[in-house]
Amino acid sequence: RASTEELHDRIRVAKQELGDRVVVLGHFYQRDEIVQHADFLGDSFQLANAAQTVPNAEAIVFCGVHFMAETADILAQPGQSVILPNLAAGCSMADMADIDSVEEAWAQLAELYGTEPDESGRVPVIPVTYMNSSAALKGFCGRNGGIVCTSSNAATVLEWAFERGQRVLFFPDQHLGRNTAKAMGVPLEQMPMWNPNKPLGGNDEQGLLDARVILWHGFCSVHRRFTVDQIEKARAEHPGVRVIVHPECPMPVVDAADEAGSTDYIRKAVAAATEPTTFAIGTEINMVNRLAAEFPQHEIFCLDPVVCPCSTMYRIHPGYLAWVLEALVRGETLNQITVPDDVAEPARVALERMLAAKP
């Protein structure tokens, strides 16, 4: 087995040989051994944008998870290939909404609400998918007047959707949907969870009649670990601590924190602090540890005392990066992510609506 140093050398040599022909994108949750080789590091929104801004690269090597690589392929130029170094790097939240279940829910909602717009031209339901979803779901949104959001623009996207629809079907992450809609003033009673096992036609139709946002039952197993108890403990042990969490955390955790925002929001908040500050962060551990190393003037720790990595992000190991880069040097494209045209076209429509939806 190659030592880590050997792997780093092999990656550097391959990248040098490939020059501008390859661009390595890395998400903030990647381990340090990968981040050091990334040409661009960012949150999922920034990485989707970055994939569009490297028209001269023949290959985009995406160090992140499967749905991010799919998005890059949808937005990349024709002829550019997108490579995911380890095909087992998925996202368990994205897997919680499959296209068949969403189509089924959509058909039932059409039966309940009809499909005709109201007097102001707003359709009964607008589908909104979190970036953390399969390309098929993004395509579904593109075909049905819907849109994609990320954790950095969810409120802007929901506003876009409320202008065009009477209510929203939000999937897969219930927490991002609930936290965002609550901050916009939507009452919790108007955010029922879609229950696939409860047929429509009874009582008050599962609370759907007054719904503004219908939430899917997905969640992130990393962010679900954060608790209000951890925040209370941090406040007791570190008076003056600033608590920042990702909006994939459950609502009581977001409510108990001082701030909530995307991975880029968290990074910028730390970088902008001018006075030495204690930060308790509720997000993935690789990112928190990197912030702690990068900003030694602050005390920065993860709210969860038990290490909480995203196990699938962690599957991008330097060995895989070396493997796909060396293959490119030999003229071989391994682990290419290709979204078929009939899915990519409507998915691009939904993504472009997001990229154009400015606050």
Name the residues that contact ligand SF4, by CB under 6 A.
65, 91-93, 132, 220-222, 248, 284, 310, 312-313
User: Residue 91 or 208: which CB sits closer to ligand SF4?
Assistant: 91
Q: Please tell me whether residue 44 binds ligand 13P under the rule CB under 6 A.
A: yes
User: Residue 73 or 264: which CB sits closer to ligand 13P?
Assistant: 264
Q: Please tell me whether residue 134 binds ligand 13P under the rule CB under 6 A.
A: no
308 labelled binding-site residue: no
113 labelled binding-site residue: no
Q: Are 324 and 37 in contact (CB under 8 A)?
A: no
- Residue 44 binds which of ligand SF4, ligand 13P, none (CB < 5-8 A, kind-dependent): ligand 13P
User: Residue 14 or 260: which CB sits closer to ligand 13P?
Assistant: 260
DSSP summary character for residue 120: T
Q: Please tell me whether residue 150 binds ligand 13P under the rule CB under 6 A.
A: yes
For residues 262 and 281, give the distance between their C-alpha atoms in angstroms, rounded to a whole number: 12
CA neighbor of 57 nearest in space, from 81, 35, 39, 37: 81
**CA distances from residue 300 to 13, 48, 189 in whole angstroms, order as listed:** 35, 28, 36
Q: Are 84 and 62 in contact (CB under 8 A)?
A: yes
User: Residue 92 or 156: which CB sits closer to ligand SF4?
Assistant: 92
314 labelled binding-site residue: no
The 3-state DSSP class for residue 147 equals: strand
**CA distances from residue 194 to 97, 109, 301 in whole angstroms, order as listed:** 11, 10, 36
Q: Are 199 and 243 in contact (CB under 8 A)?
A: no
The least distance separating ligand 13P from the CB of residue 259, rounded to whole angstroms, comes to 13
27 labelled binding-site residue: yes
- Residue 263 binds which of ligand SF4, ligand 13P, none (CB < 5-8 A, kind-dependent): ligand 13P
Q: Which stretch binds ligand 13P (CB under 6 A): 145-153, 158-166, 204-212, 235-243?
A: 145-153
Q: Which stretch binds ligand 13P (CB under 6 A): 72-80, 144-152, 195-203, 348-356?
A: 144-152
Q: Please tell me whether residue 230 binds ligand 13P under the rule CB under 6 A.
A: no
346 labelled binding-site residue: no
37 labelled binding-site residue: no
91 labelled binding-site residue: yes
- Residue 312 binds which of ligand 13P, ligand SF4, none (CB < 5-8 A, kind-dependent): ligand SF4
- Residue 181 binds which of ligand 13P, ligand SF4, none (CB < 5-8 A, kind-dependent): none
Interacting residue with ligand 13P among 129, 262, 286, 289 (CB under 6 A): 262
Q: Please tell me whether residue 80 binds ligand 13P under the rule CB under 6 A.
A: no
263 labelled binding-site residue: yes
Interacting residue with ligand 13P among 132, 180, 286, 289 (CB under 6 A): 132
Helices (H), the chain: 4-18, 32-35, 44-52, 66-75, 99-113, 135-143, 154-164, 174-183, 228-237, 251-256, 263-272, 285-294, 318-329, 341-356
Q: Please tell me whether residue 263 binds ligand 13P under the rule CB under 6 A.
A: yes
For residues 30 and 109, give the distance between their C-alpha atoms in angstroms, rounded to a whole number: 39
Tokens (6 digits) for 200:
């429509």
For the stretch 95-98, contacts whose Cβ atoms lie closer than 8 Å and that sit 24 or more positions apart, written own/partner, are 96/172, 96/216, 96/217, 96/218, 96/219, 97/129, 97/133, 97/134, 97/137, 97/171, 97/172, 97/216, 97/218, 98/134
User: Residue 71 or 263: which CB sits closer to ligand 13P?
Assistant: 263
The least distance separating ligand SF4 from the CB of residue 230, rounded to whole angstroms, comes to 17
Q: Are 90 and 98 in contact (CB under 8 A)?
A: no
Cβ atoms within 10 Å of 322's Cβ, excluding its own: 23
For residues 305 and 50, give the distance between their C-alpha atoms in angstroms, rounded to a whole number: 34
Q: Please tell me whether residue 220 binds ligand 13P under the rule CB under 6 A.
A: yes
Interface residues with ligand 13P (CB under 6 A)?
A: 43-45, 132, 150-152, 220, 248, 262-263
Q: Which residues are annotated as a binding site for [4Fe-4S] cluster?
A: 91, 220, 310
Q: Which residues are annotated as a binding site for iminosuccinate?
A: 27, 44, 130-132, 151, 246-248, 263
